[in-house]
Chain A
Amino acid sequence: MPVITGEREPDIGKHHLDHAVLMLLGIIAGLALYAPRNDRESAPWLWVAVLSPILAMLLMAPSLYAATDALPWLHSLMHVTFALLALLTAYGGQSYIRGVGWATSALLQTMAIVAAFGYGVAPAAAGIASAQAPASAPIPGKAVHGRQLFAQNCAVCHGQHGEGGVGPSLKNEQARKDFAEVQAWIKKPAPPMPTLYPAPLNAKDVADVAAYVESLK
C-alpha cells in the first residue's frame, strides 16, 4: 500500500489525498485522546495547534518526494509524521480551549484535501491541451515535461497549443529555428518577451521547453 510503505504514486494529486486520509486518522486520534480540562487558555498548546498544519504543508512539498524515492522507509516516516502533526493539531487545539481543536482540525483537513488540486499538480490546461491536441508523431521524452512548463510559463502569451495570442504563433517553429536557437532565444529573449532563465526555468527546463516547441506542428 503506497500510503503505508511510502511507495510513491505517480499522481501527485492522488498522493496528497492519501496524506489527507492519514491526517484524518491523526485528527480522530487527537480528538479522541483529548482529556477534558478547565477552559483556561494554554498558550503553548495554541502554538502547537497553529504551527502543526503549517509544518505539515511544508513537508508535503512535492520536491521532497525525489529525495525519498530511493528510500521508501523515509517516505513512510514522513507519512507517520503527517499523522502525528494532525494529532497534535487536534489535541493541541482542544488542550488550548475545548472546542478549538475541531476548528484547527478542519483547517488542516481542508488544506490537505485542497492541496490535491494544485500543489505540485500540473495545471488543468495541460490536460485540456493533451485531450484536444491533434494526433501527431510521438513526442520525445523530455518534451513531455516541456509541455507542462510551456503551459505554466508560455501559454499565456503563445496560446495553449502554441497557436499565438499576445505572442507569435510557435507552430512549425522548427522551420525557423533549430533546437539550439530556440534555447538561445528562451535564455535571452527580445522584449516584450519576459526573461524566464535562470528563473523560473533552469537550463534543463529550457531544453525541455525547446524540445516541446520544436515538436509543435
Chain B
Amino acid sequence: MSDSTGARAVMWAYLTTGVAIFGLMALIGLALRVEQAQWVAYDPGTFYALMTLHGSGMVVALALSAMGGLWFIMNRERGMDRTIAWSAYAAIVVGVLCVILSIFPGRFAAAWTFLYPLPFTGATWPSWATGAFLFGVALVMLGWTVYCVQLLGCVLAKYGGLRGAVGWDLVFHPGRASTSSAPEPPPQAFAALVTAVDGLFAATGGMLVGVALIVHWIDPSVAIDPLWAKNLTYQFGHTFANLTIYMAIAFVYVALPRYANRKWHTSPVLAIAWWGTLLFVATAYFHHLYMDFVQPRGFQYLGQVASYLAAFPPAVVTIFGGALLIYRSKMRWTMGSMFLYAGLVGWLIGGIGALIDATVPINFSLHNTLWVPAHFHTYLLEGVTLFVLGWIFANLEARSGLVSSLLTRWIVGLGIFGGGALLLLGWYVAGAESVPRRYAVQPVPGPAIAAWASIGAMLLIAGLVFCLAEAVRLARAPKALTAS
C-alpha cells in the first residue's frame, strides 16, 4: 500500500466511522425530541440513557471525523506514522463500544458532563455500568491524547520547533522568517498546532478527573472535591467539544481556496489570531460555572473575558477572511463549497448565541435553559457537521471529477439548512421562554415548541439521507483521470 493510499485509508476510516456514529446519534436525537413533543412516551430513565448516548456519541462522532481529515491534511505536510493513527482510532472505537455497552444494557443515564457525586449517588443503574462508562471515556481520551501528541510532533518537526510553528518570526522578525530554512506554516498548520496544544491541555484535566472517578468507583472511600471535579469536567469537556470546530477549520483553509481559485495566505494577522485562539479556547470553559457561587471570583471574570475574546479570531480571520476569499472570485458552487461556506455562517450564528449566554447577567436567565443546546447544536450541526460534509464532498468531487446537480443541492440544502434552522429555532425560542434543558418532561411551552422542532429534525435527517445517497453516487463513480 503506497503512502498516499495508506494515508487516505486512515482518513476514510476516521471519517466513515464518525459519520456512521453521527447518523445513529441523529436518530436518537430525533427520538429525544419527539418524546419531549409528547408524540411518544417512554420512561425518564430511558430518556436520560438515550440523552447520555446522544451527547457523548455526537461529540465523539464529530471529533473522529475532524481528526481524520486534519490528520490527512497534516500528513501531506510531513509524513506521519500510520500505526500511531490506527492505534488512536482503535482506542477511541473500543471506548465508544464500552460507552454503548454501559447504556445498552447497563442503562447508564448520568449524561457525559455529569457532576460528582454523580454518577455514584442516586444511581438507578448498576455499578458495572458506571465502570464501563468511565473506562470507555478513558479509552477515548487515551486515543485523543495519542493523536494530539502525534500532531504536535508533526508541527514541531516540520516548522522548526514551537517558535516556527506559532509563526513568531513571521510576526516579529519578518526578515529572519523569510530566510529561515524551516518552511512557513500554512493556515491549516495553525489549526493543527492549536488542536494539539489545547487538546493536550484538555486531556490533562480529563485524565486527572477520569482517574479520580475510576479510583473512587473502585474505592468509594476516596474523596473527591465536587467543585474541583466540576472544573476539570468542563475544562476537558468544553475544550474537547470546542476543538472539533478548530480541527474542521483546516478543511476550510485547504478546500475553499480550490473552489475560489485563490490562495489562503499565512499572514501576521492570521498568526496572531491563532495565538488568541490558543489562549481563549483553553480558558473559556469557566463560563460553565458562572452559577457556582463557591467558584473563585477571578475564574468567573476570566471565563467572561475569554469567552468574549474567543469570538474575535474566528470572526476576523476565518469567517471574514473566507467571505473575502470568495468575493468577486470565480467561485465554483458545488456540494462541497456550499457546505464549507454554509458552515462558516452556522459558526457565526452559533457564536452570537454563545456570546449572549456567556454574558454573566444574561446567564442568570439562560443558564441551563434550552438556549445552551441551541448554541452548541448550531456550532456542531450547522458548523462542524457542514465542514465535515464539505470536506467529504470536496474529496469525492476531486476524485470523480463529477459534481452534484443543482436540483440535488436544492433538495439537500432545504433539508439540512431549512430543517436544521427549524430544529435550532425550536431550542432558541424555548430557551428564551426559560424551558429548562435536560428535562424528559418539559413544562409549557416546551412540548409545543418540541413538536415543530421535531418536524425540522425529520427534514434535516431527510436531507442528510439524500446527502448520503449523493456521496455514495460520487464514491462509486470511476476515478477521474486528473484525480490525484
Contacts and interface: CB of A to CB of B under 8 A. Distances in A.
A92 B385 CA distance: 36
Given A41-B150, A57-B211, A120 B222 contact: yes
B230 to A, nearest CB: 10
Nearest to B230: A118
Interface in B206-249: 207-208, 211-212, 215-216, 218-229, 232
Interface string B386-406: 000000000000000000000
A164 interface: no
Contacts of A110: 204
B208 A123 contact: no
A57 B156 contact: no
Interface stretch (A73-81, A170-178, A195-203): A195-203
Nearest to A149: B223
Given A58-B211, A63-B215, A111-B208, A153 B117 contact: yes
Given A41-B150, A57-B211, A63 B204 contact: no
B450 interface: no
Nearest to A115: B208
A194 B122 contact: yes
A166 interface: no
Nearest to A116: B228
Interface residues of A, number: 48
Contact of B223 (A97, A121, A196): A121
A16 B297 CA distance: 25
Contacts of A156: 117
A39 interface: yes
Nearest to B211: A57
- Most chain A beta-carbon contacts within 10 A, residue among B80, B121, B224: B121
Interface residues of B, number: 47
A54 interface: yes
B203 A43 contact: no
Contact of A63 (B83, B121, B222): B222
A117 interface: yes
A103 B152 contact: yes
B142 A50 contact: yes
B208 A41 contact: no
Interface in A38-78: 39, 41, 43, 46-47, 49-50, 53-54, 57-58, 61-63
Given A50-B146, A120-B222, A96 B153 contact: yes
Nearest to B215: A61
A201 B146 contact: no
Contacts of B156: 97-100
Interface in A134-155: 148, 152-153
Given A100-B152, A114-B208, 9 more contacts: A57-B211, A63-B221, A118-B229, A119-B211, A119-B228, A120-B224, A152-B224, A194-B122, A199-B220
25 contacts: A41-B84, A41-B150, A43-B81, A43-B84, A54-B142, A54-B207, A57-B212, A63-B215, A63-B218, A93-B149, A97-B157, A99-B157, A99-B162, A104-B200, A114-B208, A117-B225, A118-B227, A119-B212, A124-B294, A152-B223, A156-B117, A199-B120, A200-B117, A200-B120, A200-B121
Interface of A: 39, 41, 43, 46-47, 49-50, 53-54, 57-58, 61-63, 93, 96-100, 103-104, 107, 110-111, 114-115, 117-125, 148, 152-153, 156, 194-196, 199-202, 205
Closest 6 CB pairs of A and B: A118-B228, A194-B122, A118-B225, A97-B153, A99-B156, A57-B211
